[in-house]
Structure 1
């Protein structure tokens, strides 16, 4: 064999498996039903086998019995009989057909070979992309990752799940709720967790509020509580603040010391051990921060996939959605935010983790007598409301009233909950170290407030 011949590679396929699948379909209707759920015509490598499979599908769609006679007639009608080797070839499929009982096994071989061919095709296309678009590195990487992910999911499509294991999973979940265990990632706020049963996998949670309400502080509290109380691994994308600023907030909040005193060098000596203890507690937490500015959604997806693959994160935070850019030019900012919102929901499903994305609210809040946010206040896109599984608003009356009786009080408003109740959760807020707490702790921080 010449060196040239040695370098010729035949695309992955199994002629034996393809023939076995077609033969089983021709002798057993139930086998045909199974195969149709697993394979498409493009999964067949050999052209005449692909033609025969298409004819079988046409017979199936016309509600006729599938056998060698009906398929031969369909091939004649399509003027394809000669192209597959005549009636003799089709009849031969039935005569050499193995047991139809094993048709799932044969079908999966054909499917696996098809996926391998597609991987080769993706690699070839990516090679062409690299040479043609050398300046679009991130775009090429994102396209490759998404295409390969789609291929990995392809073999799972259209498969039915037996009811029994789903019933068991649901009953176990209900049992956990009965004993007080959460089915999702806990927020650390009792009343909120009672309503949401935690942040659920694949959910997109929007946490929105006007400036100075404490969106970032509350998100950091959620992250801290999940990491320290539940030992969850956290991904935190901070597009507005640096990682150093976030860690400063985490430290002063955990230590319960005055953040302004720390920044101005006026922290009393007796408070420094608190910071040391806080640093020790946080150093063991699984919180991963990315403070890349000017991220686009494509870059964020790539980073999130890497974070999930390397650290198996349990929940992802994004601060905040309006600072993200689309990876392609859009006609309007509203379309761009809609695209980003849909992409975040798709990413939550892909990674199978909850994504908590912070969001700004429009100025319409300021023009009303009651400054509590409503759904129409979500800024720049109604798509955020549609894509979100949960919408939370943070509201502190003291920001507007400046009344002493409102100081230290806050509300987490559950404005949307796709799978459960809405409502208002009362919380406390300590502004000097930017920390939200369960309401019962308020009098330890503000003893002068009425009970």
Structure 2
């Protein structure tokens, strides 16, 4: 009885007839090669013999553009552990299993589904062992399970055909152009709220990875929070913030100071002057009506962030993700080289932006080399030791505040500069903004109000 149950379970995880049918279709008609190899790998087969046969067929067609039962057997004899007679009989049986070309795709679908099931069984076995043999944090475990399951889906979907016809691309593109001509807004993405910056970027575009980098104390978090609040409060864009450095309470405190023009130090101490407490009450009411969602999980992994971002997109329809900051994220297990780890993280962030089709604004630290130069303005080479951040990003922006280095120079006080060093689909340049330190806020330079 136990053996029968085991056999039944095994047939749910692989189909010998399907595996033989796909191999047979390749042997019967080599023109099926492109159709099959676009989606199928040797690992999709369950039995070692079928895996080896697929590899040999693949290599033969790749190198010689032809394979048949005779050439396949001659390549395989003495390498599989099968006796020559048994191998001949098995290869010939593949031809009997070969489906018509019309049915090949349906067999591929079944083969892939069986592989997904086996993959999931392996993942869940690993989770089961972790539960039984380790002390686990349930919330962290649930995030890991969700991330693993989603990763399985991504792994297999990535091999599916993904081309689109010109007509299917051009029609929605022209509809978008017509809409822009009618609305004449000039900002096609999520607005930052800063006039000159939006003019250069035309807003933060869907599927773009935007990197905002600077040395410490330049105002990275302040500017990112300002952008998030501007998008949510003034343009009704739901925003997800992943804060790895500051707690959600600290983020909210900064928002209150910035939006309400409340001295941040007074807010921290709970000692208010003049009408600051009234401002606090009013600002609290305004912020409570915005769709801003804050996750302050420390050292979050790229897979967990992706899982949570997907959930926020599905449940809250977020239009922007802010990550503060990239170097505090956890990379994939088993990656010892920090540069490779950062590369995996930046590539993962770009993947999130593209998959969910919203902009991702990720903050990044810069190396100390900036401080060693007479000219402290950051340049792209300051990022080049940080994995592939520069290559993965669609937009790279630096924050520079000359007042930090020239405290006695009155002409540079209260001014910050956003340097657009890379812009894949637009101009580069720089934008000057007002910086009001006590409110931890950047403003448009043209209409700044200090509210002293």
**Aligned-partner Cα distance in 2 for 1:323–1:77:** 51
Higher deviation after alignment, 164-173 or 95-104: 164-173
Maintained 8 Å contact 1:361/1:379: no
Q: Deviations over 1:316-350 (max 9, x none)?
A: 3333345556677998xxx5366235323324414
Q: Kindly indicate whether residue 340 of structure 2 is the aligned counterpart of residue 315 of structure 1.
A: no
Once the two structures are superposed, the pairs formed by residues 1-16 of structure 1 within 5 Å of their partners are 2=1, 5-6=4-5, 9-11=9-11, 12-16=13-17
Count of residues in Structure 1 that have an aligned counterpart in Structure 2 = 434
Q: Identify the range of structure 1 (169-178 vs 339-348) with the bigger mean alpha-carbon deviation.
A: 169-178
Q: 2:158 aligns with which of 121, 138, 156?
A: 156
Tell me the residue number matched to 2:72.
74
Residue 340 of structure 1: aligned partner: 342
How far has the Cα of 1:202 moved from its partner?
5.1
Structure 1 vs Structure 2 CA RMSD: 3.9
Q: Which residue of 2 aligns with 1:301?
A: 302
Contact 1:238 1:289 in 2 (8 A): yes
Asked if 1:207 corresponds to 2:207, the answer is: no
User: 186, 192, 214: which is aligned to 1:187?
Assistant: 192
Q: How does 1:42-53 map to 2 (within 5 A)?
A: 42-46=43-47, 49-53=50-54
CA–CA separation in structure 1 for the residues paired with 2:385 and 2:161: 39
CA contact (8 A) 1:342 1:387 kept: no
**C-alpha spacing 1:13/1:430, structure 2 compared with 1 (3 Å):** same
Q: For residues 389 and 76 of structure 2, what CA distance do their matches in structure 1 show?
A: 49
List per-residue Cα deviations over 1:414-446 (Å, max 9, x = no partner).
Answer: 12234432110122233342222223313x548
Contact 1:176 1:183 in 2 (8 A): no
Name the residue aligned to 1:41. Answer: 42
Task: State how far apart, in whole Å, the 1-side matches of 2:301 and 2:89 are.
Answer: 56
User: Could you report, residue by residue, the CA deviation over 1:212-266 in whole angstroms, capped at 9, with x for unpaired residues?
Assistant: 4322211101111222234333332334433223212211222234444544523
1:374 to partner: Cα distance: 2.7
For 1:436 and 1:159, the matched residues in 2 are separated by 46
C-alpha contact (below 8 Å) 1:252/1:433 kept by paired residues? yes
Q: Secondary structure at the match of 1:307?
A: helix
| In 2, Cα distance between equivalents of 1:108 and 1:40 | 13
- Aligned ranges for residues 374-393 of structure 1 at < 5 Å? 374-377=379-382, 381=386, 384-393=389-398
Match of 1:28 in 2: 29
Q: Is the CA contact (8 Å cut-off) linking 2:17 and 2:97 kept in structure 1?
A: no
Change (3 A) 1:344 1:202: farther
- Whether the aligned pair in 1 keeps the contact of 2:24 and 2:94 (CA below 8 Å) is yes
CA distance in 2, matches of 1:44, 1:89: 16
Alignment partner of 2:223 out of 205, 218, 225 = 218
> How far apart in 2 are the matches of 1:363 and 1:141?
38
Q: Secondary structure at the match of 1:38?
A: coil
- Matched with 1:113 is 114
**Aligned partners of 1:364 and 1:160: how far apart in 2?**
43
Match of 1:279 in 2: 284
2:257 to 245, 252, 260: 252
Aligned to 2:444: 438
Distance 2:289 2:135 in 1: 41
Q: Distance in 1 between matches of 2:56 and 2:253?
A: 67
User: CA 1:264 to 1:161, structure 2 compared with 1: closer, same or farther past 3 Å?
Assistant: same
C-alpha separation between the residues in 2 aligned to 1:48 and 1:84? Answer: 15
- Structure 1 spans left out of the alignment, 5+ residues: none
TM-score between the two structures when normalised by the length of structure 1 = 0.79
SS in 1 for 2:447: helix
Separation of aligned partners in 1, 2:107 and 2:332: 41
**Contact map agreement 2:208 2:359 (CA 8 A) in 1:** yes
CA distance in 2, matches of 1:192, 1:72: 67
Q: Distance in 2 between the 1:364 and 1:78 partners? A: 58
Residues 55-204 of structure 1 correspond to what in structure 2 (within 5 A)?
Answer: 55-66=56-67, 70-79=68-77, 85=86, 87=88, 90-91=91-92, 93-94=94-95, 97-130=98-131, 148-153=149-154, 154-157=156-159, 159-164=161-166, 165-168=168-171, 170-171=173-174, 179-180=184-185, 182=187, 184-201=189-206, 203-204=208-209
Distance 1:239 1:29, change over 3 A: closer
